[in-house]
């Protein structure tokens, strides 16, 4: 095999050459244009986006027209500043990049700069190549354009019907998926794997964290209730304030997308999965007389017992189970264990990753992107089993809390609460005993958030629910 070194081009000898355009003829003048209406409907046929009188090349499809108008045109819809032509869109991007090139001395003269801009305009106009979405979003719009930023595979993206890892969106090419941005709901129009980059984790004071690359920009401010500015993540300082929109992203009851993010999940399955993670046992002993896969639900009163058994009967129809009463000191507690055995339980255990215990527990991925009703059932089980309500007359404060030793599960619970529009704080309670783990607590302390928790989730037992109402 012969290896040849490509000779360097002497400075000044390389020039951008015209391959598709002619001097003095603008690429826009070489094609036919027409006016259309861009309209996008949901699965019910209801209009979710409309912009009339959009100017596009006549050879562009209606799908391309809808995507460009809904996704890439800048400016508020219905205002004079709104872009309405592909000429404006391509001109903004190609013109901005050409200006950057001139500022950086990439061109030998003005003629070469014009050649570059004309050729790039032609390529984009005829869809011979296309930039990724952040270029269309931001180039020529913001002072700090975000053209190449990305997130790691497991970073959660907020959608109208739950969270999902960005990696799933990319690997499954989920074009058309509705997602939240800073202005509301938009659609995924393109995906790309951007290779390997350094990742930063931004953690704000209430415990919410997001993982992004350093060239990602976020809206920041130095003081509360001030106009924000866009800032690169790798330039952030401790104490910088970020906006958290806890009440804007609400999970839909039914999908807005003709596709599936995860396996279907029933409310009853979600309730049992949450109970087993918080007040249950899942395991398989390698030795002894019983080596079968085992599920055990622990209940402390009749309401919990009825709640669990009712769902066991629906999820595991005709399955055998044993109920074992357990004597305890408190007369207020009617403690019982509901135990099931057998490999027939394996699909359920696998579906919800229930063999992950202790510090390894996290919310099942298929629950994170489930419907509103499923999320509510899952959280209700968790909070009933491991949650509590505290009230302090001295400090005039009340809290709804949930505490576990798994940081991942606590973070997921906080995320799921945000999916329902409930703000909370995540904090660590340090354990002094050397043989114990630190506790991670999700705390709902603001009265309006506790009220929303009561209205949407609440507790199974009347005792806890009454205490919650008393705290309001």
The tens place of each residue's pLDDT in the chain, 472 residues long, gives: 344 443 444 555 567 889 999 999 999 999 999 999 999 887 777 888 889 999 999 999 999 999 899 888 888 788 888 899 999 999 999 999 999 999 888 898 999 999 999 999 999 999 999 887 778 877 887 555 555 567 877 788 877 766 778 888 888 777 777 787 766 777 776 677 777 778 888 888 888 888 888 877 787 877 766 667 778 888 888 888 887 766 665 555 554 455 555 557 889 999 999 999 998 999 887 776 677 899 999 999 999 999 999 999 999 988 889 999 988 887 788 899 999 998 899 999 999 999 998 899 999 988 877 788 899 999 999 999 999 999 887 767 889 999 999 999 999 999 899 888 899 999 998 888 888 889 999 999 999 999 999 999 999 999 999 999 998 8
Domain-located, residue 450: yes
- The reply to whether 104 and 206 lie within a common domain is no
Residues 407 and 202: beta-carbon distance below 8 Å: no
Domain-located, residue 334: yes
- The reply to whether 229 and 279 lie within a common domain is no
287 sits in the region (left: phi over 0; alpha: psi -120 to 50; else beta) called beta
Beta pairing partners, 39: 50
Which residue, among 183, 272, 200, has the nearest Cα to 238 in the 3D structure?
A: 200
- The reply to whether 180 and 134 lie within a common domain is no
* CA–CA distance, 174 with 194 (Å, rounded to integer): 17
pLDDT tens readout for residues 193-240: 777 778 888 888 888 888 888 877 787 877 766 667 778 888 888 888
Domain-located, residue 19: no
Buried b / exposed e along 408-436 (16+ C-beta atoms within 10 A): ebbbbbbbbbbbbbbbbbbeeeeeeeeee
Domain count, the chain: 3
- The reply to whether 161 and 89 lie within a common domain is no
Domain-located, residue 44: yes
Q: How many residues does the chain have?
A: 472
Q: Name 50's Cβ contacts closer than 8 Å, sequence gap at least 6.
A: 37, 38, 39, 40
Picking from 209, 242, 275, the residue at the C-terminal end of a domain is 242
- The reply to whether 276 and 401 lie within a common domain is yes
Which residue, among 294, 404, 416, 411, has the nearest Cα to 359 in the 3D structure?
A: 404
CATH of the domain at 226: 2.170.16
- The reply to whether 56 and 126 lie within a common domain is yes
Other CB atoms within a 10 A radius of the CB of residue 257 amount to 19
Which residue, among 434, 437, 436, 417, has the nearest Cα to 425 in the 3D structure?
A: 417
CATH of the domain at 328: 3.10.28.10
- The reply to whether 194 and 275 lie within a common domain is no
- The reply to whether 308 and 374 lie within a common domain is yes
* CA–CA distance, 254 with 425 (Å, rounded to integer): 28
Domain-located, residue 178: yes
Domain-located, residue 147: no
Domain-located, residue 394: yes
- The reply to whether 315 and 387 lie within a common domain is yes
- The reply to whether 225 and 81 lie within a common domain is no
Quick check: helix, strand or coil at residue 402? strand
Question: Which residue shows structure tokens 């866009």?
Answer: 230
Picking from 138, 166, 187, the residue at the C-terminal end of a domain is 138
Domain that holds residue 231: 156-242
Strands 439-444 and 397-404: antiparallel
Picking from 72, 104, 138, the residue at the C-terminal end of a domain is 138
- CA trace torsion 373, 375, 378, 383 (10° rounding): -110
pLDDT tens readout for residues 282-314: 988 777 667 789 999 999 999 999 999 999 999
- The reply to whether 395 and 301 lie within a common domain is yes
Residues 90 and 55: beta-carbon distance below 8 Å: no
Domain-located, residue 218: yes
- The reply to whether 425 and 292 lie within a common domain is yes
Strands 241-242 and 217-221: antiparallel
């Amino acid at each position: 095999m012969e290896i040849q070194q490509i000779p360097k081009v002497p400075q000044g000898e390389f020039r951008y050459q015209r391959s598709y355009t002619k001097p003095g003829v603008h690429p826009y003048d070489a094609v036919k244009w027409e006016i259309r209406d861009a309209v996008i409907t949901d699965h019910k046929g209801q209009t979710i986006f409309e912009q009339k009188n959009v100017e596009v090349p006549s050879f562009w499809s209606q799908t391309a027209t809808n995507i460009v108008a809904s996704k890439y045109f800048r400016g508020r819809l219905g205002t004079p500043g709104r872009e309405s032509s592909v000429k404006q869109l391509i001109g903004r991007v190609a013109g901005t990049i050409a200006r950057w090139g001139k500022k950086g001395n990439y061109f030998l003269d003005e003629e070469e700069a014009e050649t570059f801009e004309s050729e790039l305009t032609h390529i984009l106009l005829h869809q011979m190549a296309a930039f990724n979405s952040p270029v269309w979003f931001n180039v020529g719009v913001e002072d700090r354009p975000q053209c190449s930023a990305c997130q790691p595979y497991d970073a959660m993206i907020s959608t109208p019907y739950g969270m999902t890892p960005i990696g799933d969106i990319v690997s499954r090419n989920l074009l058309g998926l509705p997602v939240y941005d800073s202005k509301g709901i938009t659609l995924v129009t393109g995906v790309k794997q951007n290779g390997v980059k350094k990742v930063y984790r931004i953690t704000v004071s209430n415990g919410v964290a997001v993982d992004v690359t350093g060239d990602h920009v976020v809206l920041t401010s130095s003081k509360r209730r001030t106009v924000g500015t866009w800032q690169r993540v790798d330039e952030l300082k401790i104490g910088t304030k970020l906006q958290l929109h806890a009440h804007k992203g609400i999970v839909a009851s039914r999908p807005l997308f003709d596709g599936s993010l995860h396996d279907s999940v029933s409310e009853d399955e979600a309730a049992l999965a949450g109970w087993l993670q918080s007040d249950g046992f899942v395991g398989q002993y390698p030795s002894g007389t019983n080596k079968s896969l085992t599920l055990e639900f622990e209940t402390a009163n009749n309401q919990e017992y009825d709640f669990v058994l009712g769902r066991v009967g629906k999820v595991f129809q005709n399955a055998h189970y044993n109920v074992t009463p357990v004597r305890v000191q408190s007369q207020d507690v009617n403690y019982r264990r509901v135990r099931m055995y057998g490999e027939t339980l394996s699909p359920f255990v696998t579906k919800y990753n229930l063999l992950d215990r202790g510090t390894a527990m996290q919310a099942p991925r298929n629950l994170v992107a489930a419907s509103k009703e499923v999320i509510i059932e899952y959280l209700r089980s968790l909070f009933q089993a491991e949650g509590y309500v505290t009230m302090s007359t001295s400090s005039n404060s009340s809290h709804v809390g949930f505490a576990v030793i798994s940081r991942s599960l606590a973070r997921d619970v906080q995320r799921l609460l945000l999916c329902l529009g409930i703000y909370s704080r995540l904090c660590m309670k340090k354990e002094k005993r050397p043989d114990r783990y630190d506790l991670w607590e999700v705390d709902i302390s603001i009265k309006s958030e506790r009220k929303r928790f009561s209205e949407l989730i609440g507790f199974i037992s009347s005792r806890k629910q009454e205490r919650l109402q008393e705290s309001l």
